[in-house]
Chains A and B, each alone.
Chain A
């Protein structure tokens, strides 16, 4: 079984500042890792995913994440945030290969301050 921990429930950041949202996972097998974004009153949307290969993964809206196997982390970063990035961000993990249940973290609310 896998688990994922998002230590920060809320992250306030000023507009145009950089941001990092932290995610740590636990698994005894190879994993796929994901970041999803949820805007108010909407469903989740996939931002980026790590399946294999390069540990630096680029996603939509200028976000990127780095898979660190030794630290079992998959932190999400953006060099300069916009007001429109205000949303809740979910880290998720699943085992690799075939159907594997996706386990979601508890979410981090990013608040971009003008």
Chain B
């Protein structure tokens, strides 16, 4: 299996622009997670989907962030409008059990 696939790997955008991050989970996994990693706050869970349904979105920072999972093989995380404080590495992870998550390589977002 190719593992969790994320695109793009790097994104540089200007403040106010819309940003869309994409994730393809491992085939057969029924859980998907979006995390944000920064030096200041470490690794934070943004949202968790199970069987394509959002279960826990308590970590989504504010209304500028939204996530969708239209099917079992694709998810997006959108930021609109983006702000410099959104600069971070965003990870997608998928799992089949509640105790082992497989992480993608991440998307490094820079908002100027």
- Residues of chain A touching chain B, judged by Cβ–Cβ distance below 8 Å, are 32, 34, 36, 41-46, 49, 51, 90, 94, 97-102, 104-107
Q: Given A99-B55, A101-B48, does the pair A45, B98 have CB atoms closer than 8 Å?
A: no
Question: What is the interface of chain B mostly: helix, strand, loop, or mixed?
Answer: strand
Residues of B within 8 A of A105 (CB): 42
B99 and A51 contacting across the interface, CB-CB below 8 Å = yes
Q: Please provide the chain B residues from 56 to 112 with a CB less than 8 Å away from any CB of chain A in the complex.
A: 56, 91, 93, 98-106
Give the CA-CA distance A49 to B105 in the complex, in Å.
Answer: 21
Contacts A42-B106, A97-B98, A104-B43 supplied; 15 other A-B pairs, CB < 8 Å: A41-B106, A44-B43, A44-B93, A46-B101, A49-B100, A90-B43, A94-B98, A94-B99, A99-B48, A99-B55, A99-B98, A101-B45, A102-B45, A105-B42, A107-B43
B50 interface residue (CB < 8 Å to A) = yes
Residues of B in contact (CB 8 Å), total: 20
Q: Which residues of B contact A90 (CB under 8 A)?
A: 43
Closest 5 CB pairs of A and B: A43-B103, A104-B43, A44-B103, A106-B42, A43-B105
Check: B4 CB closer than 8 A to any chain A CB.
yes
- Chain A residues lying within 8 Å of B100, measured Cβ to Cβ, are 46, 49
Q: List residues of chain B with CB under 8 Å of any chain A CB.
A: 4, 31, 42-43, 45, 48, 50, 55-56, 91, 93, 98-106
* Complex contacts, A100 vs chain B, CB 8 Å: 98
Best-surrounded residue of A42, A99, A102, A106 (most CB of chain B within 10 A)? A102
Q: Does B42 contact A107, Cβ atoms closer than 8 Å?
A: yes
For A43, give its contact among B45, B55, B98, B106 (CB under 8 Å).
B106
Q: If A49-B100, A98-B98 touch, does A42 touch B42 (CB 8 Å cutoff)? A: no
Q: Which A residues touch B48, using CB under 8 A?
A: 99, 101
Collect the chain B residues with CB atoms within 8 Å of residue A44's CB: 43, 91, 93, 101, 103
B91 to A43, Cβ gap below 8 A? yes
